[in-house]
Each structure stands twice: as C-alpha cells, then as structure tokens.
Amino acid sequence: MSDIRTNEEEGKKSLNFIEVFVEKDLAEGKNGGRIQTRFPPEPNGYLHIGHAKAICLDFGIAEKYNGICNLRFDDTNPVKEDVEYVDSIMEDIKWLGFHWNEVYYASDYFQQLYDFAVALIKTDKAYIDELSAEEIARQKGTPTQAGENSPYRNRPVEESLDLFRRMNEGEFEEGRMTLRAKIDMASPNMHFRDPIIYRIIKHPHHRTGTTWKVYPMYDFAHGESDYFEGVTHSLCTLEFEVHRPLYDYFIDSLKTDDYRPRQIEFNRLNLTYTVMSKRKLLRLVKEGLVNGWDDPRMPTICGFRRRGYTPQSIRNFVDKIGYTKYDGVVDMALLEHAVREDLNATSTRVSGVINPVKLILTNYPEEQVEMMEAVNNPEDPESGSHEIAFTRELYIERDDFMEEAAKNFFRLAPDKEVRLKSAYIVKCTGCKKNNNGEIEEIYAECDFATKSGMPESSRKVKGTLHWVSASHSIPAEVRLYDRLFTSENPSEEKDKDFTELLNPDSLQVLTNCRVEAFLKDARPYDHFQFQRIGYFNVDPDSTGGKLVFNRTVSLKDTWTKVKDKA
RNA sequence: UGUCUCAUGGUGUAAUGGUAGCACUGCAGAUUUUGGUUCUGCCUGUCAAGGUUCGAAUCCUUGUGAGACAACCA
C-alpha cells in the first residue's frame, strides 16, 4: 500500500510558480491555448550560467507545454554589440542541448517600431525633447519626489513628427534630442515619468549598418517584439518587475486583438564566490585577468565547458535550484555536487600521479612488465576495462608516503602494507633522502600472492594507492583551478574594486605529472576521474603529444580530510 | 520619506487552509581493491505580534528585515 502512495508522489513533481501561471492561462483558454516563449539575450557578451537558468526555463516551458521557443537577439544598442557574441550565444545554447524554433533580431522590427513611434507622436502620446541627459535626470525627480514637465512636452505634433524624421536622417548629433513617451512625470513608478523611447546613435549596427540613426530603448522594443512574434509568456528576471506596467502600457497602445504577451519575473541566479555581471566579466577578459571568455575559471557557459562540466550537469543543477521570487545566493557546493553526480556515473577511471615520487619494488624482476586490468568505471558494469603496465619502478603520489605515519594515515609508511590499485599488496621497507632531507626514492616489497584476481588478493589492507609505471607513463600538464574570487559574495563587496578580490592562487599549473599511457589517445573534452584526486578533462590546448588536463572538480574533500586528520 | 516585490534549517527549495518534506552542506557509522561511490543515522527551519478558523507556513492587519526602481544600457 505504501508503495502505491510513493509512486503517486513521485509522479507528481511540484510545479514552480511560473508553471502554475502557465497552466492557469491554459485552463482559461488564453491565447487559444498557445504557448510561446523566447530567449532574448543582448549580443554584448558571452552567456554565463545565469543565462543557463533562463535558457532552461524559456526552452523548458515551451517543451513541457508543447509550445515553441524562439531565440531573439535584443540588439537595440549597436555600440555594445557584435556578431562575435551572436555566434557564441548560438553555440552555447546548442551545447546545452536546446533547440530554438526561429532566430529573430529586434533589429528586424526597427521599421515597425519606428512606425509605432510615429503613431504615438500623432496621437500626442510622444514628443521630441531637447533637454540634455543631465537636465532630464534633474527634472525626472527622485523615487520619493515627483518630476517636472519638460518645456518641450507640449510641442506641436507636427513639429515632433518633423524632428523625429530629421533625427533619423542624421541631421542632429547624438544626445541633441530624444523621443519621449508622454505619460506622467508625477508617477510613483519612475519608468512612467516620460521615458525616453528613442535616441540618436551614429555607431553602425552589426546587422543594419548605417540605415538607422535612431534606435529604440529596451522598454520600447522588448514588449513590442514579444507582441510581433506572438510570445505568450515573456519570462525575465526580477529587476524588470518595475518595468512591467510600462511593458503593458505600450502593448495596450499597440494591440488590436485579444492576444497579449504576459511578462513574468523570476529570481536571477547568484552563486557564491562568483560575479555574474557581464560588465565585470568583460573587464576580466579585456584586462587580461583571465585567458579569455572560456577561461575555465569563468562562470561563462564556454568556461564551464572548457573546465569539463557536462551540459547535463548544468541542467541538473538548474533543475535543483528552481525558480522563485526570492533573491538569494546559491552555494557553489550545489553546482559542484551536480557535476560530481554526473561525472561519477560516466567518467573513466585512470591513474594520474600529480606529484610523483619513485617507488621501487626491490623484489620485483628488473625487466618484467605485467599488464594489469583496470576497471574503467565501477559505477557502470558496461564500461569495460583497460590495461596498465606494471613494472619494478613506479611513481606514486608524494603525499601517499609518510616517514612517520600520523594516527589516521593509512597509506604507505615504513613497515606498513598498502594495496597498489589493480595490482599487488606491497610492504614498505624504507626510503632514500637527498641532502635537503627530501625523499627521493621509496622501497617496498611485493607480495606476489596478492595480485588482483588471485585468491590471496582478498586480504584486507587499509590503504589503496594509485600508481603509474616509471617507464610506461607519459608526462602531462595539469591545471588545477580554484575559485577566481576570495570573497564568498564578491558582488556584495561594494566598497571594493572587484579585481581586488581576485584569488592569486586561482590557477596552478603542474608539469611534472605522470599519467598512464592509456591517456595518450584521449581527445579534447574527454573526461576522466583520476583515482582519489578528482575529475579532469583534456584541454583543447593539448597538441603535438602534449597532454593538458583541466581539473573539473575535486573528489569530495578527499585530500582536505586527510590533512585535517593528520 | 514614494512605488513594486519578497521573507520556510547554514544554503537552495516543497507543502496552494489539514502530519513542515526534499536536496546540498556539516557530523557520526556501515560497505568498499579510489579516504571516491553507495547505504544508514543525526543536527538545524515557517521573521515578529495580533486576528479569522475546528485547524494557518499558507488568509487578514500591523510591525520588522531584505531587494528592485531616479542609464540617451538591457
């Protein structure tokens, strides 16, 4: 009986508040039962994980309710925009595994928007203002104080019409005049205080070139674009909440039928130890503080890709954090858990020795080579196995040996036994140090009866070490990434320049690492779990036999636990 | 001294008037040829005060706290 209840509960996953709205609209038969969303980035930077959250929602809602989702570039400000960004945005959406119905550009609607603006002027709902930016700011008032009317507010319609036309013909310099909607300078909502809807920009547009000299502002372009396309649910982040009345106002002035798009706001993603502002990310790139937009320390989608995150792990993460109207900060641990969960199930286990020291098996024949069978992934019985060469001289992790073992250390130490993963149990007999007191070689004896697969191999020993053969392993470069920022919430540290919060140790490059020969055939973005260390992926920089790995994420606290206890 | 929005463990969320649940984190323990994985257990929560109700996280009132809005950005 309890089984039946469990099944019922599992099948009924709770809806987020947006899905509740959507289902209600559907139940009420709004828009003829049609569902249409859009993902509307401005092509002025690369997509980051915050966008991934919006993408999952926009495309996810469409998919769930048999609707469509279009990609629309909100390209109304030519000064900041570029085709480079258009291309990267499309690539990143595809990588996440989503498919848009159509690609649109707000710039496709410049003529329609211009015509709409002219119509507003003709009905005396817009006028050309000649106040400067400073003067407009001054007469706009403050949130708690009403604004004043512009002296140009009651300019004759014909005059505004004429000036608007001449503005677009390039007769006036940038900033000389603007087109403002005539609404209410005393409105408690600042956005209703005669918002600017068109300004002069002479910078060529990446798609329309120099055709236009006036460009619509966001508030004037966004809702109208939604309307032109037939969007039913226009999902955006919380900071646009105050814009919604204006969004509705313009659409009401435009619409001629029952259809109307509906704006719904959700909480933007904030992650600990991360800045998400495009402006700041652009600065990191421009000032060379990181190696480009796809630097694995960046919170960009391409950065995560290069770091070795899988699309599925990002989607699972977004699924876990949900959509609400509460502005919080998500712990990075949640993202990292999603990655480990996905990679644990799929990545091939290999041996990589990050900080090698030689281990010599004094009773093992000098020239002998045994091929040991290494399981590819114990989580996946279908994944098979590969071979790894075992010889007299091996490399093991320097941290896996202690001359005087601490209480909770159960790896290699004089007179102690450990298992060499997939091979033999060995007993440490001593070590050799150089003049500086550093350990140069460790000696051990092999217990030949304990080879993996043999009856004696079931003997229990406390520790299991990963290793590679000194003569068969290949050198590699390993890049260990830490948090880019030292502050848990760099976006909140308002007094500081955020670059002061950069973590100088955020990138460590290790070049004397040794990895098993199996990896020489690995291809860029292949991901592996280095036994007991972490998840790594092959960096696309790996060329000409040089192998470069990025650490995607460490294994859960493996190393710190040991250090704390020792 | 404005308008709008929000408030559930340390974090992110669910419960849509009917037993406050899930995930992450943390801490214990079991299993383990990865100190990984897996499994088990534990810690920790409805911002406050009133009201409505048989019954309130949920509805109402007041208070408190947080965020957004004063770009010719989106």
Closest nucleotide relative to residue A565's CA, C1' based: B35
**CA→C1' distance for A539 and B27 (Å):** 37
Closest nucleotide relative to residue A140's CA, C1' based: B70
Within 10 angstroms of residue A345's Cβ, the number of other Cβ atoms is 11
- pLDDT per residue over A304-318, tens digit each? 999 999 999 999 999
- pLDDT per residue over A553-565, tens digit each? 999 866 555 555 4
Closest nucleotide relative to residue A187's CA, C1' based: B3
Question: Across residues A207-236, what is the average pLDDT?
Answer: 98
DSSP state at residue A142: B
Among candidates A232, A240, A241, which has minimal Cα distance to A62? A232
Indicate whether A460 pLDDT > 60: yes
**CA→C1' distance for A61 and B63 (Å):** 39
Closest nucleotide relative to residue A562's CA, C1' based: B35
Strands A36-39 and A68-73, by their bridges, are: parallel
> Which pLDDT belongs to residue A137?
96
Closest nucleotide relative to residue A451's CA, C1' based: B33
The structure tokens listed for A443 are 């000696």
> Which pLDDT belongs to residue A560?
52
> Which pLDDT belongs to residue A159?
98
Question: Which has the minimum average pLDDT: A118-122, A154-158, A458-462, A493-497?
Answer: A493-497
Percent with pLDDT over 70 in chain A: 96
Q: Contact, A312 vs A477, CB < 8 A? A: no
> Which pLDDT belongs to residue A135?
97
Q: Which one from A34, A153, A166, A268 is the annotated catalytic residue?
A: A268
Q: Which amino acid residue lies closest to nucleotide B74, measuring CA to C1'? A: A218
Indicate whether A265 pLDDT > 60: yes
Chain B: bases < 7 Å from a protein Cβ: 1-8, 10-16, 23-26, 33-38, 66-74
Phi-psi region of A253 (alpha: psi -120 to 50; beta: other; left: phi over 0): alpha
**A42 catalytic per annotation:** yes
**The residue to which tokens 């007094």 are assigned:** A495
Amino acid found at A58: D
- pLDDT per residue over A367-397, tens digit each? 999 999 999 999 999 999 999 999 999 999 9
**CA–CA gap between residue A218 and residue A233 (Å, rounded):** 17
**CA→C1' distance for A238 and B67 (Å):** 9
pLDDT band at A166 (very low <50, low <70, confident <90, very high): very high
> Which pLDDT belongs to residue A11?
45
Q: Which one from A42, A130, A370, A393 is the annotated catalytic residue?
A: A42
Q: Which amino acid residue lies closest to nucleotide B21, measuring CA to C1'? A: A9
**pTM, two decimal places:** 0.94
pLDDT band at A79 (very low <50, low <70, confident <90, very high): very high
**CA–CA gap between residue A212 and residue A203 (Å, rounded):** 10
Among candidates A407, A424, A409, which has minimal Cα distance to A359? A424
Q: What are phi and psi of A131, to 5 degrees?
A: -70, 150
Closest nucleotide relative to residue A460's CA, C1' based: B33
Question: Across residues A277-293, what is the average pLDDT?
Answer: 96
**CA–CA gap between residue A96 and residue A89 (Å, rounded):** 11
Indicate whether A278 pLDDT > 50: yes
**CA→C1' distance for A73 and B54 (Å):** 56
- pLDDT per residue over A399-413, tens digit each? 999 999 888 888 999
Q: Which amino acid residue lies closest to nucleotide B38, measuring CA to C1'? A: A379
- pLDDT per residue over A477-524, tens digit each? 999 999 999 999 998 887 788 999 999 999 999 999 999 999 999 999
Q: Which amino acid residue lies closest to nucleotide B66, measuring CA to C1'? A: A327
> Which pLDDT belongs to residue A559?
58
Within 10 angstroms of residue A297's Cβ, the number of other Cβ atoms is 24
pLDDT band at A163 (very low <50, low <70, confident <90, very high): very high
**CA→C1' distance for A254 and B52 (Å):** 44
**A260 catalytic per annotation:** no
pLDDT band at A12 (very low <50, low <70, confident <90, very high): low
Q: Contact, A65 vs A35, CB < 8 A? A: yes
**CA→C1' distance for A326 and B45 (Å):** 17
Question: Across residues A106-111, what is the average pLDDT?
Answer: 98
**CA→C1' distance for A383 and B39 (Å):** 23
CA dist list (Å): A160 to A202, A212, A357: 20, 18, 80
**CA–CA gap between residue A377 and residue A364 (Å, rounded):** 29
- One DSSP character per residue, A2-47 reads HHHHHHHHHH-PPPPHHHHHHHHHHHTTGGGG--EEEE---SSS--
Q: Which amino acid residue lies closest to nucleotide B15, measuring CA to C1'? A: A14
Strands (DSSP E) contained in A140-232 are: 178-181, 196-200, 214-216
Q: What is the mean pLDDT of chain A?
A: 94
The structure tokens listed for A6 are 């469990």
**Secondary structure of residue A380 in the 3-state scheme:** coil
> Which pLDDT belongs to residue A563?
54
Question: Across residues A261-270, what is the average pLDDT?
Answer: 97
Question: Across residues A535-548, what is the average pLDDT?
Answer: 92
Closest nucleotide relative to residue A559's CA, C1' based: B35
**A268 catalytic per annotation:** yes
Q: Which one from A207, A244, A278, A411 is the annotated catalytic residue?
A: A278
**CA→C1' distance for A530 and B17 (Å):** 53
**CA→C1' distance for A349 and B49 (Å):** 59
Q: Which amino acid residue lies closest to nucleotide B10, measuring CA to C1'? A: A331
Question: Across residues A79-85, what is the average pLDDT?
Answer: 96
> Which pLDDT belongs to residue A9?
42
ipTM, two decimals, is: 0.96
Indicate whether A1 pLDDT > 50: no
> Which pLDDT belongs to residue A476?
97
**CA–CA gap between residue A433 and residue A441 (Å, rounded):** 7
